[in-house]
A = this chain, B = another copy of it.
């Protein structure tokens, strides 16, 4: 991997990396905030961003550096899709294709060759940052909206790889909302059975779970709540299955980074309980 930018921040460093990906067969970018010295890193947090975002949004807007610096955590923020391609329909809308990889391994024509965001995050990026930043598998996952969906589904399918899971305004039941249906059909085809491994509610119903409590923050003035996010469905599934879950509904808060920045410290502190070595 190649460091393309670095900015001293909060005693640590905010960096941008690029690397050739075997999963996407493109160059992929991610940002990192971390303590300056690798040996001071106590754990890693992978942040998955939402629709239209890239590796920059979270690290410039969420205000995560101060608390991460205090706790010695590295925060890793990958881009949300392959870039530099020109697949059929890839750049036609904000909610499919570029900027909207949906954290699945695509099987449809054209996309199957590059849109492997599930494996990119869960295998390739995971292994890369685990090794480069000496994380010893001391890694958790969180995200926002489409990235909240990514964090829930990737975390629930790989509870041994992620110490904890949290999300802001996640798409919890994509099978049943228009954002999810558009993406799952576009990347996986018409057969709905194939969508279930990428649906947090279906995963919980099928018996997947995580040993540690999942934390969700959801704004009640969110312009996509409840239609696209279906938070109550996820609450119900977790309740039925016994999955520990805390959903913190917040009056007047919307879907934006102003909401995320307000509660980011709570999320990072939540993960730190499971990550930070004594």
List residues of chain A with CB under 8 Å of any chain B CB: 7-11, 14, 60-61, 63, 65-66, 219, 221, 250, 252-254, 256-259, 261-262
Contacts and interface: CB of A to CB of B under 8 A. Distances in A.
A65 B9 CA distance: 18
B8 A259 contact: yes
A165 to B, nearest CB: 25
Identical chains bound together, number: 2
A62 to B, nearest CB: 9
A112 B220 CA distance: 47
A11 B250 CA distance: 10
A259 B61 contact: no
A259 B63 CA distance: 12
Given A14-B258, A65-B261, A258-B14, A8 B60 contact: no
Contacts of A261: 9-10, 63, 65
Contacts of A7: 254, 256, 258-259
Contacts of A10: 261-262
Nearest to A59: B258
Q: Determine chain A's interface SS by DSSP, over half rule.
A: mixed
B9 A259 contact: yes
Q: Report which residue of A7, A253, A259 has the largest number of chain B beta carbons within 10 angstroms of its beta carbon.
A: A7
Contacts of A256: 7
> Quick one: which of A8, A254, A256 has the most chain B CB within 10 A?
A8
Contact of A66 (B14, B60, B63): B63
Contacts of A250: 8
A5 to B, nearest CB: 9
Contact of A9 (B8, B9, B14, B262): B262
Contacts of A254: 7-8
A251 to B, nearest CB: 8
A261 B60 CA distance: 9
A252 B8 contact: yes
Contacts of A61: 60-61
Nearest to A263: B10
A10 B253 CA distance: 10
Contact of A221 (B8, B63, B219, B253): B8
B8 A258 contact: yes
27 contacts: A7-B254, A7-B256, A7-B258, A7-B259, A8-B219, A8-B221, A8-B250, A8-B252, A8-B253, A8-B254, A8-B258, A8-B259, A8-B262, A9-B258, A9-B259, A9-B261, A9-B262, A10-B262, A11-B262, A60-B60, A60-B61, A60-B257, A61-B61, A63-B63, A63-B66, A65-B258, A65-B261
